[in-house]
Amino acid sequence: MALKIVASQCTSCSACEPECPNVAIFEKNGTFVIDPKKCTECIGHFDAPQCAAVCPVDDTCIIDTSYPRYQPPA
Amino acid sequence: MDATTQHEGEAIGTPEKLAEIMQAKAEHQGCGTSGGSGKASCGSSAGQGDLPTEIWEKVKNHPCYSEEAHHHYARMHVAVAPACNIQCNYCNRKYDCANESRPGVVSEKLTPEQAAKKVLAVASTIPQMTVLGIAGPGDPLANPEKTFKTFELINRTAPDIKLCLSTNGLALPDHVDTIAGFNVDHVTITINMVDPEVGAKIYPWVFWKHKRYTGYEAAKILTDRQLQGLEMLTERGILCKINSVMIPGINDNHLVEVNRAVKSRGAFLHNIMPLISSPEHGTVFGLNGQRGPTAQELKALQDRCEGEMNMMRHCRQCRADAVGLLGEDRSAEFTTDKIMAMEVNYDLESRQAYQALVEEERVAKVAAKQAELESLAGEQSDIKLLVAVATKGSGLVNEHFGHAKEFQVWELSTGGAKFVGHRRVDLYCQGGYGEEDSLETIIRAINDCHAVFVAKIGGCPKADLIKAGIEPVDQFAHEFIEKSAITWFKDYLAKVKSGEIEHTVRGDAEIRQGALISAA
Ligand code: SF4
Ligand code: SF4
Ligand code: SF4
């Protein structure tokens, strides 16, 4: 799984962008989006997904269940 | 307005071209030699009071800090930093940072290059513009690159513009040295508490060192970082103003303690602002019905803190991207589109000539007040009362009653005239009330005043004011406020003494929601 940003809730504050350890977050058409190929759910970097921790709007950076759970390299 | 529309402007303007213009300007002026900060040569230093000369030099032309300067000089804020690292219960970040602006109005987000060009364009058009602030939405230090890039660009081209920034303080200790390097000599920290128990009711969380903290722990980190940042700044000789939001029932009494804590750490000015709260702002406080203070509650708290240190009473919680004298907004003239199309010719010399003129005006005003004050010296009375003044600036009674969007409030006693705040009366947040109600709104807003000084007033409102117990005073049109107020007060005392009138105490007044902007 990766995280995704609920576009209708995103305020485009940009707070999440610099926090991502994988540079997975970028701006697109006025809101911010996560590249699911780059997102590791912050596993191996931090205890909690950074985007969700810094986002001012609750339930905006959420788990995207359409992707399989990220497997950290052994 | 929807936040998602904010980024449209960013495609406009070519940063390369701008950098070129600014480079050329910088060379032309030979920056560094012309750090023009207030060219006043007057030794009498009007208004210095007991401030050390070094600090007075820094504040006297700063419209946010010097009670006096804000009538003459202008400031502008640009919003380049929308991200924030904490959450305040009085903020809904769909809109602006509530610390500095009126909730519900989204500031225009600019790139550092756009912001720099905007500042130069405004400064070239409005010679009073001497201060640039970076403020909300968001925390400038949660976006340090954007903030400092903007400062760098402006420093290069317009070395006479003072830079300041407002922060919640969480990231402050990490950036103090950069701030000092940029010659940013004004920093505003919003400190609402020094007790984490109180803080936990104001801040649901902070994001620090890659972790979200909540409750007591969050507030403890925040207060520690704020006070540490404050100490570090004052150690380096950087002026610090403290903003506090007065939240009745949560931190109102506690702010006296905050006042002591920040004073002992070298803050030179404390600005207590009323909470602005209403359900349509969508903030936690707005939704849970937390009320803001009344005018009397606010003034009482400011008075309690005043013995401790300088209080700032002219803050009108200006909108973050407002342009103009405090209380005036010319931002419609400087939208991103207009600015990017503008040829900017930054003329330092004519700016300085203008500012010298303003200095003369200020000295004249103080001299007039001094003379009048001396004539009051013999009077003995315990009477202390408030009067409202309609003014467009320059320290004069020069606004028509019907045109005033706000009134200055002055406290009169045998000690003289003291500026104690502003009252908004514009209809911006009224939401559809008609003309007939506007007079009532004004009366409610200045209900604690004995008189209202105006340049002109019509017959009808005059009669209604008298009925409400507020004396309309129009014989001082276009005269200096303080001098006029003292003259009127002497006359008032004489009438009380002769028994012609009886002195009564006035009731409380209402604080109008939000910052002052013109509904253009
Ligand atoms: S969960 Fe972590 S890795 Fe994934 S987008 Fe958010 S910050 Fe980046
Ligand atoms: S932190 Fe949240 S609101 Fe801000 S840009 Fe990222 S997803 Fe959007
Ligand atoms: S610091 Fe400013 S932007 Fe951040 S939550 Fe508080 S009021 Fe809002």
pLDDT of residue B317: 42
Residue B331: partners with Cβ closer than 8 Å, 6 or more residues away: B319, B321, B322, B323, B324
Residues B127 and B245 reside in one and the same domain: yes
Residues B233 and B304 reside in one and the same domain: yes
Task: Work out the mean pLDDT of chain B and round it to a whole number.
Answer: 74
pLDDT per residue over B132-151, tens digit each?
887 667 889 998 998 999 99
Residue B464's domain spans which residues?
Answer: 348-498
Residue B123: partners with Cβ closer than 8 Å, 6 or more residues away: B129, B158, B161, B346, B351
pLDDT of residue B163: 86
pLDDT of residue B98: 42
From the CA of A17, give the closest atom in ligand 2: 6
Please give, rounded to a whole number of angstroms, the shortest distance from the CA of A64 to a CA of chain B: 21
In-domain check, residue A69: no
**Cα gap B351→B297, rounded to integer Å:** 41
From the CA of A2, give the closest atom in ligand 1: 4
Q: How confident is the model at residue A41 (pLDDT cuts 50, 70, 90)?
A: very high
CATH of the domain at B464: 3.30.420.130
| Amino acid at residue number B499 | G
**Cβ–Cβ below 8 Å for B211 and A46:** yes
| Amino acid at residue number B463 | A
pLDDT of residue B342: 66
Q: Is B84 in the pocket of ligand 3 (CB under 6 A)?
A: yes
Both structure tokens of B164: 């300041």
- Could you tell me how far CA B45 lies from the centroid of its own chain? 22
Please report residues of A whose CB lies closer than 8 A to that of B5: 30
Q: What is the mean pLDDT of the segment spanning B62-87?
A: 69
Q: Is B136 in the pocket of ligand 3 (CB under 6 A)?
A: yes
pLDDT of residue B63: 52
In-domain check, residue B24: no
Which of B283, B306, B341 terminates a domain? The answer is: B341
**Cβ–Cβ below 8 Å for A48 and B3:** no
Residues B334 and B360 reside in one and the same domain: no
**Cα gap B173→B191, rounded to integer Å:** 15
Most confident stretch, B45-49, B54-58, B70-74:
B54-58
pLDDT of residue B5: 28
Q: What is the mean pLDDT of the segment spanning B192-201?
A: 97
pLDDT per residue over B444-485, tens digit each?
888 889 999 999 998 888 888 999 889 999 999 998 888 899
Q: What is the mean pLDDT of the segment spanning B9-33?
A: 32
Residues B78 and B111 reside in one and the same domain: yes
Q: How confident is the model at residue B512 (pLDDT cuts 50, 70, 90)?
A: low
Which of B310, B341, B372 terminates a domain? The answer is: B341
Percent of chain B with pLDDT over 70: 69
Residue B96 has pLDDT above 60, yes or no: no
Cα pseudo-dihedral B105, B329, B411, B100, rounded to 10: 40
Total domain count, chain A: 1
In whole angstroms, how large is the CA radius of gyration of chain A?
11
Q: Is B97 in the pocket of ligand 3 (CB under 6 A)?
A: yes
Residue A11's domain spans which residues?
Answer: 2-64
Query: φ and ψ at B12, to 5 degrees?
Result: -80, 145
Ligand 2-lining residues (CB < 6 angstroms): A 5, 10-16, 32, 54-57, 60-61
Strands (DSSP E) found in B376-454: 385-389, 406-413, 416-424, 449-453
Residue B101 has pLDDT above 70, yes or no: no
Centre of ligand 1 to C-alpha A24, Å, is 7
In-domain check, residue B67: yes
Please give, rounded to a whole number of angstroms, the shortest distance from the CA of A21 to a CA of chain B: 10
Cβ atoms of residues B186 and B57 within 8 Å: no
Task: Order across the sheet with B449-453: list the strands.
Answer: B416-424, B406-413, B385-389, B449-453, B471-473
pLDDT of residue B262: 94
In-domain check, residue A25: yes
Which of B300, B317, B341 terminates a domain? The answer is: B341
Nearest CA in chain A to B8: A30
Residues B433 and B415 reside in one and the same domain: yes
Which one, of B115, B107, B147, B144, lies nearest residue B6 by Cα?
B107
Both structure tokens of B145: 């690159």
| Mutation target among A6, A14, A50 for the B interface, most CBs of B within 10 A | A14
Q: What is the mean pLDDT of the segment spanning B119-140?
A: 78
Residues B265 and B201 reside in one and the same domain: yes
Residues B373 and B306 reside in one and the same domain: no
Residue nearest to atom 5 of ligand 3 (CA): B87
Percent of chain A with pLDDT over 70: 95
Residue nearest to atom 8 of ligand 1 (CA): A20
Q: How confident is the model at residue B335 (pLDDT cuts 50, 70, 90)?
A: low
Whether pTM exceeds 0.80: no
pLDDT of residue B178: 93
pLDDT of residue B497: 87
**Cβ–Cβ below 8 Å for B137 and A13:** yes
CATH of the domain at A30: 3.30.70.20
Which one, of B326, B435, B464, B444, lies nearest residue B391 by Cα?
B326
Please report residues of A whose CB lies closer than 8 A to that of B138: 13, 15
pLDDT per residue over B395-419, tens digit each?
789 888 888 877 888 888 888 888 7
Residues B249 and B269 reside in one and the same domain: yes
Give the nearest partner residue to B4 out of A18, A31, A48, using CB atoms. Answer: A31
pLDDT per residue over B151-192, tens digit each?
999 888 888 888 888 899 999 999 999 998 886 867 889 999
Cβ atoms of residues B64 and B131 within 8 Å: yes
Residues B276 and B298 reside in one and the same domain: yes
Total domain count, chain B: 2
**Cβ–Cβ below 8 Å for B82 and A46:** no
Residues B332 and B356 reside in one and the same domain: no
Q: Which ligand gives the minimal distance to the CA of A30?
A: 2
Neighbours of B493 (CB within 10 A): 19
Residue scoring higher pLDDT (B206 or B499)? B206
Residue A46 has pLDDT above 70, yes or no: yes
Residue B209 has pLDDT above 90, yes or no: yes
Residue B47 has pLDDT above 50, yes or no: no
Q: What is the mean pLDDT of the segment spanning B59-68?
A: 55
Q: What is the mean pLDDT of the segment spanning B260-272?
A: 89
Give the nearest partner residue to B4 out of A12, A48, A50, using CB atoms. Answer: A12
Q: How confident is the model at residue B13 (pLDDT cuts 50, 70, 90)?
A: very low
Residues B367 and B307 reside in one and the same domain: no
CATH of the domain at B151: 3.20.20.70
- Could you tell me how far CA B233 lies from the centroid of its own chain? 21
| Mutation target among A12, A20, A58 for the B interface, most CBs of B within 10 A | A12
Q: Which ligand gives the minimal distance to the CA of A24?
A: 1
The number of residues in chain A equals 74
Nearest CA in chain A to B144: A18
Q: What is the mean pLDDT of the segment spanning B256-261?
A: 94
Residues B283 and B396 reside in one and the same domain: no
